[in-house]
Amino acid sequence: MADCNSGRCAHSYLVAAQSSRSCGGSGAPIHSIDGLGPYHHAGPVRDPQGREMLFPTVQFAIFFTVVFLGNWLLMQHPIRWRWFMLAASYFFYGYWDYRFIALLAGSTLFNQAVAVAITRRRFDARVLVAIGVAGNLMVLAFFKYYGFFVTSVAAGTERLGFSVAPPLLDIILPVGISFFTFQALSYVIDVFRGRLEAASTLDFAVYLAFFPQLVAGPIVRGSEFLPQMARPRDPRRLDATRAFYLILIGLAKKIVIADFLASNIVDAAFATPGQFSSLELLIALYAYSVQIYADFSAYSDIAIGVAQLLGFQFPDNFNSPYAAVSIQDFWRRWHMTLSRWLRDYLYIPLGGNRGSSLVTYRNLMLTMLLGGLWHGASWTFVFWGGLHGVWLVWEHRRQELRVRRDLPAPADTPGRRVVRRVITFHLVAFAWVFFRSPSFSQAWEFISRLVTGGPGTGAISLGILLAIAVGIGAQYVPKGAVSSALDRLSRLRPSAQGALLGIALVAIDALGPQGVASFIYFQF
């Protein structure tokens, strides 16, 4: 292990040997399978040459300015626009590592060939969709889970008294592979189900590579994006006020809250929990809960805002998740595009709740376990998903027992809502320990220290407490208040709006730490 400013940086034997990487303070966990040494569960979040096209950078500002102008200048020339947008998206993706482009192009051609073959019905559609699903999952498994499989097999056989050591390969995980693979899967499956017509190859290529959501979502389905390409888009009808609001609020969440909490308490507390007191670790856990929400929702906000400036509407990805009154409610609010994807393409095909109670519980557990594994190749992620699965099963069981006994639903009083929100938040926060910790042993160390206590480091500051309070409290701001403020803002003169925009950008830059860290979900 090599120490970084965050105190938690390691070189993975699963990434190219010639590549050197450093932590960016993003809190992207580096997991290990206990007893087998370091294992970077989700590959690099930085490209081998150290280049990044992060939203809050000058490079992206220049790139987007060119794309924005080209987008609207070519809008009346659909074919030229498509080729321009495809080239821009491939440039954006290749900026991280040009080798990733070949994989993205290969995924495009493979999935389009399957979708067209399904549409033309030259072969059994069920066989074709099976080939499509298997092909996508094999690629994802090789790049993302090969090392996890190898180390798990080695650990398992060693415990059984013999040794099997499959060869380790130097594999660079392409950024955002989980996101564009899920989008490709939804496209092929929807074509098979008859919910979507196979698009032209060029249209599908633009959809799969469209740069705002390419790296870290939201997961946009073909049925949500492709029809928008066929409709003319008028720059005079853009809701630019909302778009710039989303971009600004995303920058503030990322720079002022997420990166601040990561660098001031989260990274250090999870790296060496034994050096912190119980209260400090509790605050660190709250801080990480806010950090991961602020970091991930920031990317989604900026992606939605950037897409809106280009004339496209993306689905919302977060809806005040820490205001949830149950775990089921939490998953209706957290990473909503993934939740809906897992529901429509995994939970329902497994049978959903159409069978017995045991079948429903099985389907819930499988969905959450696989959802945990989607986040990264580590047993701690699987355990994190399993915890949420257990709590969902428990909530379903309680509801079933209430219905079976013909008991009325409890009164929805303000006090009861507060209690349910507090309990739900702490269940979610507890599960984050395993999501964030580098290994099970370090997760247990964090939890043990959280309970047993000990001397601290004086790490808690007013700024940390304020960032946590803002991160959680902002989720209770009424949606109507935000809409009303945006409506008033949209009525201001462009010069006044521009001045407010400039002031906000200066304030964000002044309040945030120096430098910009990678987004946490880049590793997924």
- Return the active site residues: 375
Conformational region of residue 450, where left means phi above 0, alpha means psi within -120 to 50, and beta covers everything else? alpha
CB 307 within 8 A of CB 285: no
Euclidean distance between CA atoms 482 and 325, whole angstroms:
22
Nearest to 513 by CA among 143, 5, 4: 5
What tokens appear for 324 in the block?
């949830």
For the chain, the distance separating the N- and C-terminal CA atoms, rounded to the nearest angstrom, is 22
Name the amino acid, one letter, at 468: I
The torsion angle over the Cα atoms of residues 16, 17, 19 and 25, rounded to 10 degrees, is 90
CB 251 within 8 A of CB 507: no
Nearest to 32 by CA among 518, 380, 274, 386: 380
CB 431 within 8 A of CB 388: yes
| 3-class SS shares of the chain: helix, strand, coil, % to 5 | 70, 0, 30
Burial, 391: exposed, middle or buried (Cβ in 10 Å; 0-12, 13-18, 19+)? Answer: buried
3-state secondary structure of 267: helix
